[in-house]
Amino acid sequence: MDLEKLKEVLEGMPAFREKQVKQFLFKNFVEDFDEMLSLPKDLREKLKEKCSLEITAEVFISENGDTVKVLISLTDGARIEAVLMRHEDGRNTACISCQVGCPMGCTFCATGKMGVTRNLTLFEILEQVLFFSRYLKKEGAVVTNVVFMGMGEPMLNYDNVMGFVRILNDKNYFNMGARHISISTCGLIEGIKRLAEEKLQVNLAISLHSPTDEKRGRLMPVNAKYPLAILMETLNDYYEKVGRKIMVEYLMLDGVNDTDEDVEGLHKLLSKERFFINLIMYNPTGMFSPSLGWNVKRFKDNLEKKGFTVTQRYRYGRGIKAACGQLAIEKKKCEC
């Protein structure tokens, strides 16, 4: 798909034209300019000449159909992954990427191992949701939720991520409530501060993974720049400004961060009124082992005894390598 020239084509036309074209694209999910019959023919021809609506993608569907992974080729040949998770309650969550790779280098993350090539444009971020919107349209369903938990660090591509959020949120287009959109960050405080000023009810998720600087620093290089004291101060300010609970993402790594001491550390670090904890099952990428089932249960029980609200992320799409932290690495390997 290539919509970079859309603005140029629509230049000088009345404002309603832009809205009309965008409604075809982002509300009706039309895949062909020829179907935009209410547009003048010469405009349709020009759009066809300068823009492309075709999404080049390989699709992988899990055995039970609850997960759809898509590997999208961008116009410069870069490839990104996005995943659709179909929940039993009818929600359809798109987990999308915001960068090609990621520069943050978290030791447990496959995307982090790739390094970063570039930021995605606003339209490239949109392309991922659009792919699933078109896919679901065939059965009369829609994407109900979007999470930035694919490849990349959203706070490093802030303007395009927020531009995208506004289109999703816009009643004229996707009309998705901000509360259905989640932005996950490894803890870049400038971005968290900017987000606090947006006056948008999006969900903020913070990848914490350990309550101590020593351990977090070994897992996540970002901790050297923004240690926990600064991060917590920023998150608490965020809560005070926005008033919405923050999701703490906590990867369960066997023998690394799943002990009683860690429960105690989380208890001391986090206010139960401001944070809830989402335990993430580790998808092995080489360096660590996932926590054992009985220990995850024990860890969760102990956190609940301390008064925390704790959720547990179901593992979607492992059979098709569509789980968190596994995105894009397989294809990269094939190229070597």
Rounded Cα distance, 103 and 98, in Å = 12
Cα atoms in the Cβ-side hemisphere of radius 13 Å centred on 46:
14
- Asked if 104 interacts with ligand SF4 (CB under 6 A), we say yes
- Asked if 80 interacts with ligand SF4 (CB under 6 A), we say no
Say whether 16 sits in a helix, a strand or coil: helix
CB of 171 to ligand SF4, least distance (A): 31
Given 93, 128, 133, 184, the residue binding ligand SAH (CB under 6 A): 184
Q: Which residue is nearest to ligand SF4 (CB)?
A: 112
Residue 240's DSSP bridge partners are none
Q: Work out whether the CA dihedral 286, 289, 293, 299 comes out positive or negative.
A: negative
H or E element at residue 146: strand 145-148
CB of 281 to ligand SAH, least distance (A): 7
| Per-residue tokens: 226 | 């923004």
- Asked if 210 interacts with ligand SF4 (CB under 6 A), we say no
- Asked if 186 interacts with ligand SF4 (CB under 6 A), we say yes
CB of 314 to ligand SF4, least distance (A): 19
Does the active-site annotation cover 190?
Answer: no
Active-site residue (options: 51, 98, 106, 324): 324
Q: Distance of CA 240 to CAs 245, 307, 312, Å?
A: 10, 20, 26
Does the active-site annotation cover 81?
Answer: yes
Rounded Cα distance, 291 and 296, in Å = 6
- Asked if 282 interacts with ligand SAH (CB under 6 A), we say yes
Q: Within 10 A of 258 (CB to CB), how many other CB atoms are there?
A: 22
User: Beta strands 67-73 and 79-86: pairing type?
Assistant: antiparallel
H or E element at residue 43: helix 41-50
- Using the rule CB under 6 A, give the single segment among 66-74, 127-135, 147-155, 254-262 that binds ligand SAH: 147-155
Given 127, 249, 258, 262, the residue binding ligand SAH (CB under 6 A): 249
CB of 285 to ligand SAH, least distance (A): 5
Which residues, 305 to 324, sit near ligand SAH by CB under 6 A? 324
- Asked if 247 interacts with ligand SF4 (CB under 6 A), we say no
Q: Which is nearer to ligand SAH, 25 or 106 (CB)?
A: 106
Residue 320's DSSP bridge partners are none
Active-site residue (options: 45, 54, 81, 197): 81
Residue 314's DSSP bridge partners are none
Which residues, 106 to 125, sit near ligand SAH by CB under 6 A? 108-109
Binding site partner of 324, from ligand SAH, ligand SF4, none, Cβ cut-off 5-8 A by kind = ligand SAH
Cite the active site residues.
Answer: 81, 324
